[in-house]
Chains A and B, each alone.
Chain A
Amino acid sequence: MSLTGIKAGASPRGFLSSPQDAGGLRSWIFSTDHKRIGLLYLACILTLFAAGVALGLIMRLKLITPGNDLLAPQTYNAVFTVHGVIMIFLVVIPSIPASFGNILLPLHIGAEDVSFPRLNLFSWWLYLTGAVVALVSIFTGSGAPDTGWTFYVPFSERTTTNVSVAVMAVFILGFSSILTGLNFITTIHQLRAPGMTWRRLSLFVWSLYATAWVQVLATPILGITVLLVFAERVLNLGLFDPGRGGDPLLYQHLFWIYSHPAVYIMILPAMGVISDIIPVFARKRIFGYNMIAFSSLTIASVGSLVWAHHMFTSGMSDLAVLVFSFLTFIVAVPSAIKIFNWLSTLYKGSIIVEPPLLFTLGFIWMFSVGGLTGLIQGAAGADIHVHDTYFIVAHFHYVIFGGTGLGMFAAMHFWFPKIFGRMYNRRTAAAAFWIILLGMNVLYFPMFILGLMGMPRRYYDYPAQFAQGQLISTVGSWILAMGLALMFYNLYAGVRRGAAAGPNPWGAATLEWTLPSPPPSGNFAEIPEVEKGPYDFAPDPRHD
């Protein structure tokens, strides 16, 4: 699309510029424009991500040698709890859907906004409220929560720390997530542009759709669960307390009924991002569109049935171990299919290596490590040994940071020129990527070994035989931090001083690239008629 597509009189800064009479912060925090809301989410998420990373670095520093007393035991316990709560509930779960989902969903389907723009803004306010309440729980009352992000009973009922406030924060955040999911499902059903059939949806939208269903149907279980923990602490209700006839394992069931599917809330949108980026840089239609879309739905649905594989050592029935181990292995298949489809898309393409593709390849590698080590945990017997050890810590950091994190960074580098109308320095971005990749592996790989050696997680101190791995891991954390700093600095510089990017720097074929960068407030001057699929590149594709 040429520059003539820009509406006459449209600001070159598109939705980023405010009307004359309503500038400033208010025009952002009360805006119902999905792109502004998406950017607000992105800003909050990245800020909290930085906070979470800082806590992670502190923990790694504390663990650099055995017997180190940089942090008091109670402080360490609070730090890993807060690191988990921030990273899971405030960063990773909303990460891609709330930020890029909001920005891109209406653009991808050719709509002027989501179905319920005011509800969308309300979701963000709820998110902000949840974040504030979470912060309040850290700095007030009898000390930051020290339960781990899982809030397992009966410990979470007994500890005197500020758990009651923390679980309310989780409840509020859950509500925010539900409303976003509900909004997205309605939008995808109702607001697709003429000609935008289900089979012309981008795979990113498909992944958002699958994710949204998990958000709507699983999150309420978390809501009621944390409400009950709150009620046990504050109202003296006794539903999980073993001293009063309660069954603490039921808490774990309820918790994981949400929190396992939450892993798919985290990873599916990243897979969607990857599915959208690969064809663009291979200049080739996505391989197996139907299978990828279908596997998103399969992962979301079967993935909701495997929760108790977090409980193989909990003392639940052996039959349940059998059933959930089996279901867990079944859900591995659609993930494998996605990987093979991505590889086949690269096969015989005409590949141009740009930062978004680098992060995408990083995603494939890291997610493969995380996914494949997950198989060890799915196998009932092998899981017993590695459960609740550093092996798990390594596994989920590979999946969530290596997967969702790199997916998010890929999305940031891919859609950056669209959102800001500028380009970052691509060489610096590539350098940052390699440093991040190196740092992640030095940080997390030793944890697999530590876990196999028997090092349990959530230990503020450890016996001497684990010292070497812990030291390497801590060094890795510094490499990773440098890489992240470089990447964020580069993006920030791009926002400030980057060269103008033009409407479609990558030569991509989804609808958002037909708009000027940044897109104008109302998106499309008129609702487009869609006549081709999201990956049907023009015959002479190369833009340069």
Chain B
Amino acid sequence: MIEAHKDYAGAKLGMWLFLFTEVVLFGGLFLLYSAYLHRYHLDFHHAARNLDTFLGGANTIILITSSFFMAMSITALQLGRRGRCLGLLALTVLMALGFLANKAIEWWAKFEHGIFPGSEHLRALPQGEEIFYSLYFAMTGLHGIHVLLGVGILSFVMILVRRGRVRQEDFVILENSGLYWHLVDLIWIFLFPLFYLIT
């Protein structure tokens, strides 16, 4: 058995490469979004009006703040303050859960209004609006799955930090999870204006 590499820079390079693939994965949806926006820009404006800018804005702030806590937790561990690191991670996860709750409320409200993929109500709308909602569900849904994964990853990292597997001298796992979490934030930074602000 080969001893585990302690190639800190390599681990980070690998993580960044993975993030590139995530960016391109969402990129496919951004491609669709831009093509359909070009084709149905008026419909998009109409449909976007039905999304709640307040909820979307609140979620933006929540994610930015959770990103902020995430970055601080890395600083804390780098300084050897494990308790503070754990506390900040817990806050990050809490924010993530808040985001998900908020998202669930928003989706639920849409469902209540008969807006869900393939619904009668959607079929009756102009085609551009239906496409807008399909994109909305696809993109925020995929993003939501990423948030959920992030919650899992960060909770797991919390355990590792507690057990001392991730510590001041060896924190690349924490840093890489942080990178992943910031990416989730990054994607939302673009989703927010594209869906909520183009009215």
Contact = CB atoms under 8 A, between A and B. Distances in A.
Q: Decide if A and B touch, CB cutoff 8 A.
A: yes
B171 interface: no
B78 to A, nearest CB: 22
A143 interface: no
21 contacts: A115-B14, A178-B18, A183-B14, A185-B17, A186-B13, A190-B9, A190-B13, A191-B10, A216-B21, A217-B21, A217-B24, A220-B21, A224-B29, A224-B142, A237-B134, A239-B32, A239-B135, A239-B138, A244-B127, A245-B127, A247-B36
Interface stretch (A3-11, A200-208, A228-236, A289-297): A228-236
A210 B136 CA distance: 35
B27 A220 contact: yes
Contacts of B27: 220-221, 224
A246 B5 CA distance: 48
Interface string A264-277: 00000000000000
Contact of B131 (A182, A190, A238): A238
Interface residues of A, number: 43
Contacts of B35: 247, 250
A526 B146 CA distance: 42
- The residue among B5, B9, B17 with the most chain A CB atoms within 10 A of its own CB is B17
B179 to A, nearest CB: 14
A221 B13 contact: no
A115 B131 contact: no
A129 interface: no
A165 B104 CA distance: 28
A112 interface: yes
Contact of B14 (A186, A235, A522): A186
B20 interface: yes
A396 B12 CA distance: 38
Interface of A: 32-33, 112-113, 115-117, 119, 178, 181-183, 185-186, 189-191, 216-221, 223-225, 227-228, 231, 235-239, 244-247, 250, 253-254, 257, 522
Q: Tell me whether chain A's interface is mostly helix, strand or loop, or mixed.
A: helix
Nearest to B10: A190
Nearest to B17: A182
Nearest to A115: B10
Nearest to B28: A224
Nearest to A117: B2
Contacts of A32: 1-2
Contacts of A224: 25-29, 142
A1 B28 CA distance: 51
Nearest to A219: B21
A191 B9 CA distance: 11
A308 to B, nearest CB: 13
A221 B130 contact: no
B24 A221 contact: yes
Interface of B: 1-2, 5, 7, 9-10, 13-14, 17-18, 20-22, 24-29, 31-32, 35-36, 39-40, 117-118, 123, 126-128, 130-131, 134-135, 137-138, 142
A112 B17 CA distance: 22
A239 B18 contact: no
Contact of B20 (A33, A217, A228, A246): A217
B138 A246 contact: no
B37 to A, nearest CB: 12
Contact of B2 (A186, A217, A522): A522
B32 A250 contact: yes
B17 A186 contact: yes
Contact of A178 (B5, B21, B26, B118): B21
B128 A245 contact: yes
Contacts of B21: 178, 182, 216-217, 219-220
- The residue among B10, B24, B31, B138 with the most chain A CB atoms within 10 A of its own CB is B24
Contacts of A247: 35-36, 39
A246 B13 contact: no
A6 B95 CA distance: 57
Contacts of A116: 14
A225 B28 contact: yes
A79 B36 CA distance: 35
Contact of A238 (B9, B20, B39, B117): B117
A116 B35 CA distance: 38
Given A220-B25, A237-B138, A238-B118, 14 more contacts: A113-B2, A115-B14, A182-B14, A185-B13, A189-B10, A191-B10, A216-B21, A221-B24, A228-B28, A231-B138, A237-B137, A245-B126, A246-B131, A522-B2
B35 to A, nearest CB: 6
Contact of A228 (B2, B5, B130, B138): B138
A225 B142 CA distance: 13
A39 to B, nearest CB: 17
